[in-house]
Structure formats: C-alpha cells, structure tokens
Amino acid sequence: MSRNAMSRTFDDARRWARIGTELFTGAADLDESGMNASSLLPGWTRKHLIAHVAANADALGNLVHRAATGEPRPMYASPEERADGIERGARMPAAELTARLHRSTGKLAESTDALTEEQWRSSVVTAHGRTVPATELPWMRSREVCVHAVDLGGGPTFADLPDDFLTALCDDVAAKRAAEEGPALVLEATDTGATWTLPGDGASTTLAGPLHEITAYLTGRAHTLTTPGGGPVPALTRWL
C-alpha cells in the first residue's frame, strides 16, 4: 500500500507525542467562550474534545500500569463509561477542565518516562482488543494529540505537524483502509514524493497534493484535493 522508504521508530513516536501534547495543550488554553465553541468534529464542542484527550491520557496510563506491574487493567471500564466521562468533562468549567487536561497529560508523561526497557516490551491490550507491545503506546498517543490539536480548530493545522509524523500516519491509515471496502486510489504527496495505493473498488483514481492535504483526506478531515479533472474526490468511510 505504501511505497515510502521511512518507517516510524519508538523514538519517533515519543518525539511526536511530546510535540503533539505541546500543540494540543497550547491550543486548548481557552476561556469559557472559546471552549464552548464547536470543534471541527461534528457534534462536539472543544470541551468534548479536551475531555476526550484527557481521558485518553488516563486510559493509556492504565496500560502503562499494566506494563509496569503486570496487573491487568483495561483502558476503559466500558464504552458507556468512556462516553459518560466525556460528557461530564464537557460540562466542567473551563479552568477545571484545563487543570484536568494538564494533570492527566503530566501523569502519563511521568509514568511512561519511568518504564524500563523490559517493561516497554510487555504486552498490553487496547480498547479495540488488540494485543500490542507497550512500545506502541507513544504512537497511539501521538495520533490522539496531533490529530485532535487540528480538530480543535483555530490553532494548528496538518501543515504545522512534522512531515515524518504525517507520512507515518498516512501509512497507518492507508493500511487500515486498504483492508476494508472503499474506492481504489493512488495518493501522491507532491511535496515529499510519498505515495500510497489503496486497492479498492472500481477504476483507480489518482489524487495528488501536499502531504498535509493527503493526510487530511485520508483521516476524513477537510481538505482541498480534487480529481485530475477538478471534480470531487471519492468519499471515504470513517477512519476511527
């Protein structure tokens, strides 16, 4: 699916998680009015999104605990508990929600920094039931904070994210989409030369544009891509 030479490393993911956390917490530093405004995710205010990212830090912290101690601990108690927690967070005053975000991100950073090399190799189970090594946790977090920093709106865009992160994200999303039903596509990043091929239904459509626009399209966000003839691009199903 991807014909790109690079592949992400553990150190890459940790660096991207730090960058994304700084971008997200900076963009989320808002007053009450700013937090209550709509995010770029349909049906969610910025408060919903901030509460979600804070809860994700706590959930990944549960997996860090599993890696550190061997004690099984799920990311979330249940899908219902996860949704209820986001709604509760969306009703918090701005200052309280900001404090929660900083508390959860700080605790996650502290706990991951304390893991030994052996603990990083421990297996953990994600919310989707996948068993992965703990070394995948920084990548999971980097996706959350980097993409949702963009979703807050009015702050960072995909163009502000590192090119190597965007390439790794496109590799990840394209691999997932290639395994599902969808349109046949060839995606070409005109500024980096990276390409992705999705073997889907019908005749293949080639879409070309800057890497950040390719990323926005693949992840289901607003973009400026068009077909070679200037028409609308094929619709994609939800990414996550």
Helix axes 137-151, 46-69, angle to 10 degrees: 170
What does the pLDDT average to over 113-121?
A: 98
User: CA-to-CA distance for 100 and 138, rounded, in angstroms?
Assistant: 20
User: CA-to-CA distance for 52 and 58, rounded, in angstroms?
Assistant: 10
* This prediction's pTM: 0.95
* Correct CATH for 158-240 of 3.30.1050.20, 3.40.50.300, 1.10.150.120, 1.20.1560.10: 3.30.1050.20
The domain segmentation of the chain, as residue ranges, is 10-156, 158-240
Angle 85-111-29 from CA coordinates, rounded to 5° = 55
User: CA-to-CA distance for 93 and 116, rounded, in angstroms?
Assistant: 38
Give pLDDT tens digits for 183-221: 999 999 999 999 999 998 889 999 999 999 999 999 999
What does the pLDDT average to over 39-66?
A: 97
**Domain boundaries 10-156, corresponding CATH code:** 1.20.120.450
Instruction: Give the rounded percent of residues in the chain with a pLDDT score beyond 90.
Output: 92
